[in-house]
Amino acid sequence: MIDLSQDSLLREIDEDIRRERYARLWKRFGGWIIAIAVAVLLGVAGYQFWQFRTQKQQQEASARFAAAVALATTDRAAAERQFAAIAADGPAGFAVLAGLRQAALLAQNGDTQAAHGVYQQVERKATDPFYRDLAVVREAMLALQDETVPIDAEAITDRLKPLSANGNPWRFTARELSAVLASRTGQTTEARDVLSGLANDQLAPSDMRERARQLLAELGER
């Protein structure tokens, strides 16, 4: 038969040994364990605070952006100033959108030089290639529309060239703008080549294919 009293005694001795080991381990590593636990708690609290602050900033920027959009229908100059403020201190996404709207309002108000500058700021600041390339496209469009500022066709074409590559979401617009620039600077053969490609590209928007055919017809008449 098993001696229950002896078995109980052995268990108590084993527990005493383990407690002694834990005590030695805690004495040796307890400070580090506490420090790690505190660091984890602070990290979690910091992340939660960052999330709260980011969400609050996004909500505030959204409200400011919506107010500027509404103001643009009645006071474009005041709206432009509000967009400029959001572009300067707003969260990244809203800052880029506000910069694009600010540049458009500046162009509508006749300040094309300032609009060019804002588009270039957006291009430098945007981290998303979609909006960075959009700023290039919008500035190129502005350059083609502007009668007061001389067009540096070569510089604009160089900036549009990467956007014309297959896979870029702005490739068709970039190609059309490049063709118009080529035709304006007397590079008729290059303009025809680009326009022919657009006119025959079934992936290009239908209205753009039609414009390409019309421009080809005009170039053929010269």
Same domain, 107 and 169: no
Residues 158 and 219 in one domain: yes
Asked, for residue 137, whether it belongs to a domain, the answer is no
* pLDDT the model gives residue 1: 46
- Please indicate, yes or no, if residue 8 is contained in any of the structural domains: no
pLDDT digits (tens, 9 = 90+) for 21-78: 656 655 665 555 555 555 555 555 554 544 545 576 677 878 888 888 888 888 888 9
Considering the entire predicted model, what is its pTM?
0.70
Domain match, 124 and 87 both = yes
Domain check: are 52 and 120 in the same one? yes
CB 179 within 8 A of CB 215: yes
**Number of domains comprising the chain:** 2
140 occurs within a structural domain: no
Is the residue at 19 inside a domain?
A: no
Q: How far is CA 68 from CA 8, 65, 84, 134, in A?
A: 80, 5, 10, 21
Same domain, 78 and 155: no
Q: How confident is the model over 114-125, as pLDDT tens digits?
A: 999 999 999 998
144 confidence band (pLDDT: 50, 70, 90): confident
The verdict on residue 196 lying in a domain is: yes
Question: Is position 177 within any domain?
Answer: yes
Backbone angles phi, psi at 2, to 5 degrees: -80, 135
Task: Give the mean pLDDT of the chain.
Answer: 79
198 and 128 fall within a common domain: no
Q: Is the pLDDT confidence value at 170 over 70?
A: yes
Q: Is 164 in the same domain as 218?
A: yes
Give the pLDDT score at 17. 53
20 falls within a domain: no
Whether residue 116 sits in one domain with residue 64: yes
Q: Is residue 146 part of a domain?
A: no
Give yes or no for residue 162 having a pLDDT over 90.
Answer: yes
Q: Cβ–Cβ contacts within 10 Å for residue 201, how many?
A: 15
Residue 40 vs residue 113, higher pLDDT: 113
The predicted pLDDT at position 197 comes to 93
Burial 140-170 (b: 16+ CB within 10 A, else e): bebbeebeeeeeebeebbebbeebbeeebeb
Q: What is the residue range of 73's domain?
A: 47-132
Mean pLDDT (whole number) for 96-111: 89
